Structure 1
Amino acid sequence: MDFNIKNKKISFVNSSILYIVPTPIGNLNDITYRAIGILKKVDYIIVENIHRASLLLKNFSINNVPLITLNAYNEHKKTNALLSILKKGQSIALISNAGTPVINDPGFYLIKCCKELNIRIIPLPGACAAITALTASGMNCNSFCYEGFLPKTHKKRINYLNMLEKEKRTLIFYESTHRILPSLKDMMMILGKDRNIVFARELTKIWETIYSTSIEELVFLIEENKICYKGEITLIVEGYNKSIPISSEALETFNLLKIKLSKKNTISLVSKIYNINRNLLYRYILKNNL
């Protein structure tokens, strides 16, 4: 199969196609008709975990397509065999346990090799926890950076967060249950205790949680077991903004006073109590629809 792009001829290997197919991150109804159709017609499906994939595929009556496991431990070892399949003109679909493949999941090396060999790659749109959480965060969605999982050790986390301290774009992280608290404490130390954060857990599932607060408050809620933090976690962190040094205490006071006072008088009073520039506070209130 050949394509001409600006007089440059690109030859794909036979009819070989590697499909990148997102799967639901929780709610099975989020899979697309196109994804189901492709998973039913390909010659092989690459999966992270046979058991988890089988449950998903069985739900959509996809029972006769052979499954091949690919994970962080065997990706390099198995890629040559997968390329051999593709070179024969057969098609393969790549899926992960949940969400869009390659985003903190295996498959990058295979895709890189396919690009080098001009094997056609067709990506499908679909579920992604990072983007799902971002859209509901109320933070800037026009300029953001996805950082995946923070390093596992305290020293490496601190070094990494130091690089992000002055990042003005909205930050997106994934985190695990057993590392959420130490990661948040390191964020509080480097990014500041008053930095706004959205805690999104088990997105699209019946026990979904999306909670907006400060990093300090979120640490308190987790330490006191006032919020469940088990399951798949996405953190959306407000970008750096030195011009608006507004503490959580000031915002709490604002929310209490505005019940009895006008917004104008409340802003004036809070700015005096906490020594905050009145215009900066006013712009912050407007920006965040408080």
Structure 2
Amino acid sequence: MSEPGTLYVVATPIGNLGDITLRALETLKQVDAIAAEDTRHSVGLLRHFGISKPLIAVHEHNEQHSAEALLKRLQAGESIALVTDAGTPAVSDPGAVVVQAVRAAGLKVVPIPGASAVIAALSASGITQAGFCFEGFLPASGSQRRKRLESLKAVTVTLVLYEAPHRIVECVQDLLSVFGSERMLTVARELTKTFETIHTSHLAGAVDWLQADSNQQRGEFVLLIHPAPVEKQEGLDENTQRILKRLLQELPLKQAVALATDITGHKKNELYEAALAYKAAV
């Protein structure tokens, strides 16, 4: 049973309705009302699963006002589910203002996780480097978008973006101009839907691929900019060399190497060879 005075943040499918979780269905059936980004869209989802509940509109244009109204209902003892058109509320979608208000009032917020376009895209990308940075939607303005991308050039993990179909070509062209032609990009389009497409290429090739087929410019996009290749450093860095030399002044060679390995994280064999070279040079 749902708990009185509790807001449930419920993830819904991003395309395929079969991706809804059993817990999400049970929650939607038990709450007193459902707060939805677009009530017309959510009616179709609920009808598909035979659920009939009062719907409350909560979108980006009325979220502050809606948060106050929802808070009053929760304080009166109702339980409410918060949903968005697809995926998880409050993540590049309305909902964060509502959640913040409910938590600030000391009421309970319960996440009901489910399908995620970000995780779905990452899982099918084949990117082996750990970690990612989720940026969501970039600014719609070309100059502001490029400015934001310039600020993200230093990110060393996979950069994850959302993009709309009418801006996808311009966005990828901006990625090309900022990150360079050799940077790899995975385009994940219409995830879990009929025309799902996952395409990986260099950025220069991605622009050509999009422009060659207008069908590939339709739908909802997740863009994964792969991390830049890590350049392998030759030899030991200056700080490691300084530590090793100082330890060799005070300790026998094996002890100095063992301690330097613990301190710097470099491979023992590499430090041992360097230590032998330092000793021979003295």
Using structure 1 for the length normalisation, give the TM-score. Answer: 0.77
Q: Does 1:16 align with 2:8?
A: no
The aligned residue for residue 280 of structure 1 is: none
1:182-201 equivalences under 5 Å are: 182-201=170-189
Structure exhibiting the larger radius of gyration computed from Cα positions: 2
Using structure 2 for the length normalisation, give the TM-score. Answer: 0.79
Superimposed CA distance per residue, residues 184-204 of structure 1 (whole angstroms, 9 cap, x where no aligned partner)? 111101111111111111111
The aligned residue for residue 34 of structure 1 is: 23
| Percent identity between the two aligned chains | 39
In structure 1, how many angstroms separate the alpha carbons of the residues matched to 2:70 and 2:200?
44
The aligned residue for residue 133 of structure 2 is: 145
Q: Does 1:71 align with 2:59?
A: yes
One-letter amino acid of the counterpart of residue 18, structure 1: L
In structure 1, how many angstroms separate the alpha carbons of the residues matched to 2:72 and 2:154?
46
Aligned length: 230
In structure 2, how many angstroms separate the alpha carbons of the residues matched to 1:226 and 1:116?
47
In structure 2, how many angstroms separate the alpha carbons of the residues matched to 1:70 and 1:193?
41
Q: CA deviation at 1:141?
A: 5.9
| Structure 1 moving runs of 4+ over 3 Å | none
The aligned residue for residue 262 of structure 1 is: none
In structure 1, how many angstroms separate the alpha carbons of the residues matched to 2:175 and 2:112?
34
Q: CA deviation at 1:166?
A: 2.1
Distance 1:232 1:42, change over 3 A: same
Q: Does 1:106 align with 2:84?
A: no
Q: CA deviation at 1:223?
A: 1.7
The aligned residue for residue 70 of structure 2 is: 82
In structure 1, how many angstroms separate the alpha carbons of the residues matched to 2:48 and 2:83?
15
Distance 1:141 1:206, change over 3 A: farther
In structure 2, how many angstroms separate the alpha carbons of the residues matched to 1:141 and 1:203?
22
In structure 2, how many angstroms separate the alpha carbons of the residues matched to 1:155 and 1:20?
35
In structure 1, how many angstroms separate the alpha carbons of the residues matched to 2:215 and 2:32?
45
Q: Does 1:229 align with 2:217?
A: yes
The aligned residue for residue 210 of structure 1 is: 198
Question: 5+ residue gaps in structure 1?
Answer: 1-13, 245-290
In structure 2, how many angstroms separate the alpha carbons of the residues matched to 1:127 and 1:36?
13
Q: If each structure's helix is expressed as a fraction of its own residues, which one has the higher value? A: 2
Q: Which moved more, 1:137-146 or 1:101-110?
A: 137-146
Q: CA deviation at 1:62?
A: 0.3
One-letter amino acid of the counterpart of residue 49, structure 2: F
